[in-house]
């Protein structure tokens, strides 16, 4: 009777190990790409939400200062429009545009309350003073230690407020708040990469307000 031949146990070859390593590496790279996309999308959503909240906050301030923005005061002529632009860069804010009197008053907080215990009466604030003060507070102030307002939320951005009067609709004043900023995006594939992905792109948020 012939004895059954025993075959030696066969293990993994070096080629099989290398193929397995390549498959694992490709999978890990895919996971890393998904993680980068997730973080980028989360940051983008957070930033856009903050921009929307800031625009709504500015609209609320304009409603509070209706005596200025509705064009009924003598500070600006609705027929000539309002065009103000605030540029936030490195924590500082610069206003420019017309009417120049308003942009000049923004940096001068004439409507601040007097300090506690002061014998000086509080200042008398006009509609222009209040509008300028609220705009300055919204845009942000910078001290040696802190930065507040829009300057702390979105640096290197630009905010434009344009107001005009619609003569065909009972002279209703309409103001458009436009905020532009650069947003860093991550391309999910080669097509997005060719279309400008993984780069800083200009984004715009627009809100129409009737003070």
pLDDT of residue 206: 95
Task: Give the structural domain span for 61.
Answer: 16-111+125-209
HSE-up of residue 68 (Cα within 13 Å, Cβ side): 21
Residue 4 lies in a domain: no
Residue 57 lies in a domain: yes
pLDDT of residue 144: 46
Residue 67 lies in a domain: yes
Residue 189 lies in a domain: yes
**SS3 for 158?**
strand
- The 3-state secondary structure of 168-199 reads CCCCEEEEEEEEEEEEECCCCCHHHHHCCCCC
Residue 9 lies in a domain: no
Q: What H or E segment, with its residue span, contains residue 163?
A: strand 157-166
Give the pair of three-digit tokens for residue 28. 């890990």
Q: For the chain, how many structural domains are there in total?
A: 1
Print pLDDT tens along the chain (211 aa): 555 556 656 656 788 888 888 999 988 888 877 777 777 777 788 888 989 999 999 999 989 988 888 877 666 666 566 777 777 766 667 777 777 777 777 766 666 655 556 666 666 778 888 888 888 888 875 544 555 678 777 877 888 888 887 767 677 888 899 998 888 766 656 655 555 555 678 889 999 998 8
Residue 179 lies in a domain: yes
Residue 8 lies in a domain: no
Residue 157 lies in a domain: yes
């Amino acid at each position: 009777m012939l004895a059954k031949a025993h075959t030696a146990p066969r293990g993994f070859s070096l080629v099989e190990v290398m193929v397995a390593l390549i498959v694992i590496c490709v999978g890990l790279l895919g996971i890393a790409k998904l993680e980068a996309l997730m973080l980028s999308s989360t940051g983008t959503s957070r930033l856009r939400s903050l921009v929307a909240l800031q625009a709504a906050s500015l609209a609320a301030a304009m409603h509070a200062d209706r005596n200025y923005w509705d064009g009924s005061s003598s500070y600006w002529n609705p027929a000539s429009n309002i065009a103000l632009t605030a540029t936030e860069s490195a924590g500082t804010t610069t206003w420019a545009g017309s009417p120049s009197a308003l942009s000049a008053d923004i940096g001068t907080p004439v409507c601040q309350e007097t300090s506690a215990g002061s014998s000086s009466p509080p200042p008398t604030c006009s509609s222009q003073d209040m509008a300028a003060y609220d705009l300055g507070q919204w845009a942000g102030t910078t001290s040696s230690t802190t930065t507040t307002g829009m300057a702390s939320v979105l640096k290197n951005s630009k905010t434009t407020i344009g107001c005009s009067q619609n003569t065909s609709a009972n002279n209703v004043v309409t103001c458009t708040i436009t905020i532009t900023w650069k947003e860093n995006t991550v391309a999910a594939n080669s097509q997005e990469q060719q279309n400008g992905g993984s780069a800083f792109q200009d984004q715009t948020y627009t809100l129409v307000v009737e003070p």
